[in-house]
Chains A and B, each alone.
Chain A
Amino acid sequence: MLKLPIYLDNNATTPMDPRVLEAMIPYFTEHFGNAASRNHPFGWEAEEAVDYAREQVAKLVGADPKEIIFTSGATEGDNLGIKGVYEMYASKGNHIITCTTEHKAVLDTCKHIERTGGEVTYLEVKADGLIDLTELEAAIKPTTILVAIMYANNEIGVIQPIREISAIAKKHGVLFFTDAVQAVGKIPVDVNKDGIDIMAFTAHKMYGPKGIGALYVRRKNPRVKVTAQMDGGGHERGMRSGTLNVPGIVGFGKACELARLEMADDAARLSKLRDKLQNALMQIEETYVNGNQEHRLPHVANISFKYVEGEGLLMGFNKNIALSSGSACTSASLEPSYVLKALGLGDDLAHSSLRFGLGRFTTEEQIDYTIKSVSETVLKLREMSPLWEMFKEGVDIDKIEWAHH
């Protein structure tokens, strides 16, 4: 039986896998020790659990366990990775290169750095959401210390050419940071093969708990250091003080292990379901897929339904289907998604977009239901849309002088 509501917002967060919860529970009650307590079994148990989880996490991304710094999540990882490099390598330069479609945790960190005297170049993306490698290389200058480009985008799912980016950074002796929140656990990520120096990722996007993440910091070729952003007990090799979140770390470890073992099967199944969904919705006229479709996460599709407003569209089924829209009708600014705008999409198409994020627990039955609900709502709202009527009458909407507010 189809169980409602259906969750298709897995880019925002994922449900926790019951196997992860099971692994965590003893560490709330029975094994509650502080991993930094060196003098009794409670501490030893906690430390052992953390060590094991650190190996599980490291193994998923091809890292050495010593290169994993536990954080509270990817926002902290982005801050620590970028500000940490900026401060640590201040004597080498003050210039950072990033791109306009990064997550706010990266963009706002970069803005903070600009306010403190740093210089940041924001690369534009092409219409398919990928950066231009020639532009990247051209932006590097003697003062450049870091290239910060995300692995995969949270709104459109496009995967940046990570290996090419890291090769360019390496060639110029610049460190490479990547926010890999949407990629780790979903597609193969290998810090060595991918040439990544610093990488932020988080448990709750891969069926683990919220409030725990990791920053990978390379120890060899080159040895990278980041300046701590919190002062305290000097945990995590001095880079991140604070008592370790042992149950969270145990859960993160388990989630990484499950992802490593099941990623290939999950991805194959989900890409089939995603393609079924996308192909069915594309049967509706004036419907567009946003972002590169070849270099894209297997479980994501971002689609614009022209002449229908996204939030209005969501309302047609949001009791039964959880989705996100690039429309920002609720925000005070009325500005739609900056990511979609960065692709060069008109505001009207950005307002008309839905993001479908499938996940480990998505079923074909749910996808069939979604296809039906979304299609019906689009058609119903178009009957109600003055823009659709104008389009059908051959009126060029772009030529109308709209009153802007």
Chain B
Amino acid sequence: MNPVLSLRGISKSFPGVKALSEVQLDLYAGQVTALIGENGAGKSTIVKVLTGVYQPDAGHITMGGAEVQFPTAQAASAAGVTAIHQETVLFDEMTVAENIWLGHAPRTRFGLIDRRAMREGAVRLLEGIGASLNPDLRLRDLGIASKHLVAIARALSIDARVVIMDEPTAALSHKEIHELYELVEKLKAQGKAILFISHKFDEIFRIADRYTVFRDGQFVGEGAMEDVTEGDLVQMMVGRSVDQIFPQRARNIGPPVLTVSGYSHPTEFADIGFTLHRGEILGFYGLVGAGRSEVMQALFGITKPSKGATRIDDQVRVIRSTSEAIAAGIVYVPEDRGKQGAVKGLPIFQNVTLPSLPRTSRAGFLRLAEEFRLAREYTQRLDLRAASLDQDVGLLSGGNQQKVVIAKWLATKPRVIILDEPTKGIDIGSKAAVHEFMAELAAEGLAVMMVSSEIPEVLGMSDRVIVMREGRIVDEVTGERMTPEVLVRAAAGLAVAA
């Protein structure tokens, strides 16, 4: 059987990162192909290439034997490729029918939008996938599962031949997931070629016919699902050559600093308990959405836990706001630098001193000399490259912005530092500097918690690793058990390998 859509030798680079390196992918009519890979394997990049959002640097895309190009999202959609995203990209204030037909609405004789044809068409498409939604409902009144149905109906309205589903079940309940599986079966029966991206092994084995594995932007293997076991797939996903070098450090673990017990949140996590020691790097591994960042945000006073206790140096401390957390010696370097970390319009020195203003000011008045001293001290330690500390942070490169954010937190003289995906999206050189620095911090007696989805980083840097899945701690890994297989299996909810 010939594939409906076929990618060969696709490469894509971004400044400092090679996201895809000569990968291939085949999709067949009436079959579900699962795309499997760790974070950073290149899955989202390939989706963006397929939907015309990114242009590949090299390689060919063929559909039905003829070479095609997708210079724009419209071109991809006109060729019959459509994607249903994790967070469905639809319009909340428009009705179901308007969402389905946006951009290609049926017209009347006079060139006006034919609202009746639109509604009738919407009902027909929705019925075709077994959904009975009122086409006049506004999207914001629907649940996520119904929004998926609308997205799929939209895909069918442009007569898509290829449907990409990017972690469609990530936000669904059990019942909704089953309805989605039935829907996938219907689409298969209609002869659509489906690309299904998921981290969950149980669902891959349930609905996929074929698999393709990417690792670090490279194609690793493909085949029929009936020919592989879970173990084979895990092996393909993680069997990497460890090419990154992590700093050697003496394990010098001191007394407990932070003890968390029975920590729960109504909707995000439950029964979280662990102890963090001086001089320790404690890694938190899990799939995206496992609740790791949510726990950290609660510890930092951004959200409120419903139950549980935190003790610092054996004293019970209740943290109700971020300023209380900072006062208690806990700081958080967030994942999303752009949004949560740097204040781009302020100069470097003002960014560094922002959480330390109570200390650098006297009677409410800032002491600029003191601020410059503090900023100079910490930016030098981090080897920040900037023309002047007066420079706006928005003008720095990503790696240097990250350094400013870290310097900002170190300047508060914390005891516990939480690093959320500390090296996400920065180049290799800056990564090494951040790792080096984490080792130094631990050596100086700071207690470090690192949330990371990159297995080499978690294994290379941590003394201990806590694995979370669906809002709970599922494993605590130390010593010889610290291997990629153990982490991936625990995070995916698979039984421990014998």
On whether the two chains bind one another, the answer is no
On A, residues with C-beta under 8 Å from B are none
